[in-house]
A and B are shown apart, each in its own frame.
Chain A
Amino acid sequence: MDSNSLMQFAGAIASGTVRVVDLTFTLSPDFPVIVLPPEFGQAAPVRIQQISRYDASGPAWYWNNLSFGEHTGTHFDAPIHWFTGKDLPNNAVDTLPVRDMIAPACVIDCSAQAAQDPDFLLTIPVVEEWESRHGRIPERHWVLLRTDWSKKSWRDYANLKDDGAHTPGPNAAVMRWLVEERGIIGFGTETIGTDAGQAGHLDPPYPAHHFLHGGGRYGLQCLCNLDQLPPTGAVIIAAPLKIQNGSGSPLRVLALLPAA
């Protein structure tokens, strides 16, 4: 690519020929986070403490102190997050290759199935059916699972029952297949976690984490606005914070797509 095309691309963004869609929830204290049994360590919730706001603590300036867990809000999972990826090279958010932070996406719309069944699991046949319409999933593409889950109220979004969360996600076979047979760069969801709410009962447990990170691939979760993306043709920008040896990070996820 010559510099001319890069400038054309920048111009297309400025003119709106290339549309930029924000796939990110606002990072706020009231956004649901992953819930583990209380005897485990917990993700620290998002906290925003005001330092000053044009007041006695700082007359001309407004700023805050922030604290949050690496896995809060719309966030990125690096391979080091899971035991399967712990020994891979460049497996943390500060060392992963920056070129992996920009990649195209295939968006699989399962919103109808998820509306019927909160425990809906993405399977190989569902993806094959999608491929029959939109073509084979190319290597180094994100696969984003659209469920419209991001449009729910927080309580329905977390959907916690006395036997755990009930939210859609992938089954084990499709995760392994996407990583090994399709060579995806990562998998993204609208729900809290790349895995289904009941994925602890799958084999292996939490197959998205297991296979993605074991294969050196990435996860994105708590995405929104996936309904604005075409099945193919969008490019995702997902650059996590450069946290030393970080397992993940809240981030701004943007999608670039041709304006209609």
Chain B
Amino acid sequence: MIEPIAKPRRKNPLLRTRLPTSPPRARSRASHGFTRAAAEGRFMLQRCGACATFCYPARDACPSCLSADLVFTDAPRRGTLLCGTMLHVPADVHFRERAPWRVGLVAMECGPTVVAHLHADCEEGQPVVMSLQLDKSGQAVAFAHPERETPNMADDRQWREMTAEPKFRRVLVTNGRSIVGQETVAALKAAGASIVFVGIAEPWKPFRGEDALRALEGVEIVPLDIGDEKSVADLAADIGGKVDILVNTTEHVRAGGLLDRQGTSIVRDEIDQSYLGFVHLAQAFGPAMRMRGSDGVNSAAAWVNILSVYALANWPVFGAYSASQAACLSLSHSLRAELRPGGIKVVNVFTGPLDIEWFQTVPPPKVAPRVVASSIVSALKRGLEDVFVGDVAEDIRQRLAANPKAVERELGT
């Protein structure tokens, strides 16, 4: 049984902040099938197209029939823990400072035996449920969970290393003016975040929901105009050392592509708010987060972007907006690589049109702001990297995988 983790005490300023270390990184190209699955929270194994054998680890030929037709497919998650081993003195620096560390062999019901990190409540000979997780080096690893919910399950020490669990963490939500921002604040508080800082630009402008936001316990409104480099730097100077999770809820949606817009001021606003705002936030908050990736129970853990799924495929009705989102998506991949040495996850939450004012004329299905908020919390708790929220986002994802050219042509008509 897991003891519940205690709210971390204030840091002892006489002690050095431990620098983050990474678990082993090397992976074969084939094994990045696991990386994709882990990023999206799926459990996939290679399966032979010729003889239907599931295999593990990733390889280039079927161990049963030598066919090269191995495809990553969603696989059943259940298995049995054959044996567990407690590593007391691992040779690897990362695991040595986390020792003791428990790993084990899991016999999957679908066939192969998998080496997995173990939740402390997994017992030998008992059924377990597997997931693929991205570890602190961003690489996929297998993780075995007990079959049924156990007390304080999410507080397991090894599990917390795999996720960006908001409990007892301090969060910055960059834009509290939007409904998505306000729902995100509420969801993170409900998930146990110890404090949520909420950025408000141009505080002289009143906004809907302000009184409710101000009344929330453990929520602190801070001045933050992410389009303004100095505003972002000033806030980072104040709280940069205690932002464990940053959720960028910037929302600047305008309809239109190129030809029916006069001039460039709307495009420039889009770039200022979305792209440059992202740059300002990353430069101001990123370095401290990367440095604090191993800073105890409330170490820095994750950076969340909310992106339009049209970052992946331009929707000309919102053409210039789609392009600004594509720029942010590209930047997020740079940030992901740059934060990886700190073990900080960059979570991209892709949504279709939201049920907000700026998509007023767009027919349903639209994504409710509350659903975006709960998806963010769920992604943090599960340690995901790429999340598709709602039917439109999922539809675009699947169609892109099938035929990107068809998506381009269909969105453009």
Residues of B within 8 A of A48 (CB): 229-230
Given contacts A41-B263, A42-B269, A44-B268, contact A29 B230 (CB under 8 A): yes
Query: Could you tell me the distance in whole angstroms from the C-beta of B291 to the nearest C-beta in chain A?
Result: 20
Query: Could you tell me the distance in whole angstroms from the C-beta of B201 to the nearest C-beta in chain A?
Result: 9
Knowing that A29-B228, A158-B205 are A-B contacts, what are 4 other residue pairs whose CB atoms are under 8 Å apart, sorted by A's residue number? Answer: A29-B231, A30-B202, A30-B231, A161-B206
Interface string of B327-358 (1 = CB under 8 A from A): 00000000000000000000000000000000
When C-beta atoms are compared, the residue in chain B nearest to A41 turns out to be B265
Residues of B within 8 A of A154 (CB): 203-204
Interface of chain A residues 21 through 62 with chain B (CB within 8 A): 29-30, 32, 35, 41-42, 44-45, 47-50
Residues of A within 8 A of B263 (CB): 41
- In the assembled complex, 18 residue pairs joining A and B whose CB atoms fall closer than 8 Å, in A order, are A29-B225, A30-B223, A30-B225, A30-B231, A32-B204, A41-B263, A42-B265, A44-B265, A44-B269, A45-B225, A45-B227, A47-B229, A48-B229, A48-B230, A50-B229, A153-B204, A154-B203, A160-B205
Given contacts A42-B265, A44-B265, contact A49 B205 (CB under 8 A): no
Residues of B within 8 A of A153 (CB): 204
Bound Cα distance A45, B230 (Å): 13
Residues of B within 8 A of A30 (CB): 202, 223, 225, 228, 231
Interface flag for B30 (CB, 8 Å)? no
Interface of chain B residues 229 through 275 with chain A (CB within 8 A): 229-231, 263, 265-266, 268-269
Bound Cα distance A50, B232 (Å): 13
Contact of B229 with A155 in the complex, beta carbons under 8 Å: no
When C-beta atoms are compared, the residue in chain B nearest to A29 turns out to be B228
Residues of B within 8 A of A35 (CB): 205
Residues of A within 8 A of B206 (CB): 155, 160-161
Bound Cα distance A42, B252 (Å): 13
**Number of chain A interface residues as a range:** 10 to 19
Residues of A within 8 A of B230 (CB): 29, 48, 50
Interface flag for A157 (CB, 8 Å)? yes
Query: Could you tell me the distance in whole angstroms from the C-beta of A11 to the nearest C-beta in chain B?
Result: 41
When C-beta atoms are compared, the residue in chain B nearest to A161 turns out to be B206
Bound Cα distance A153, B206 (Å): 13
Residues of B within 8 A of A32 (CB): 202, 204
Given contacts A155-B204, A157-B204, A160-B205, contact A41 B228 (CB under 8 A): no
Interface of chain A residues 99 through 134 with chain B (CB within 8 A): none
B204, B225, B263, B266, most chain A CB atoms within 10 A = B204
Residues of B within 8 A of A (CB): 202-206, 223, 225, 227-231, 263, 265-266, 268-269
Bound Cα distance A49, B230 (Å): 8
When C-beta atoms are compared, the residue in chain A nearest to B208 turns out to be A162
Bound Cα distance A32, B205 (Å): 9
When C-beta atoms are compared, the residue in chain B nearest to A32 turns out to be B204
Residues of A within 8 A of B203 (CB): 154-155
Bound Cα distance A210, B161 (Å): 65
Contact of A158 with B204 in the complex, beta carbons under 8 Å: yes
Partner of B228, one of A42, A47, A160, A161: A47
Bound Cα distance A157, B227 (Å): 22
Closest 4 CB pairs of A and B: A154-B204, A155-B204, A29-B228, A158-B204
Bound Cα distance A155, B268 (Å): 26
When C-beta atoms are compared, the residue in chain A nearest to B229 turns out to be A49
Residues of A within 8 A of B204 (CB): 32, 153-155, 157-158, 160
Partner of A41, one of B223, B231, B266: B266
When C-beta atoms are compared, the residue in chain B nearest to A154 turns out to be B204
Residues of A within 8 A of B266 (CB): 41
Contact of B228 with A45 in the complex, beta carbons under 8 Å: yes
Bound Cα distance A183, B206 (Å): 39
Residues of B within 8 A of A161 (CB): 206
Residues of B within 8 A of A41 (CB): 263, 265-266
When C-beta atoms are compared, the residue in chain A nearest to B252 turns out to be A38
When C-beta atoms are compared, the residue in chain A nearest to B269 turns out to be A42
Query: Could you tell me the distance in whole angstroms from the C-beta of A119 to the nearest C-beta in chain B?
Result: 17
Residues of A within 8 A of B202 (CB): 30, 32
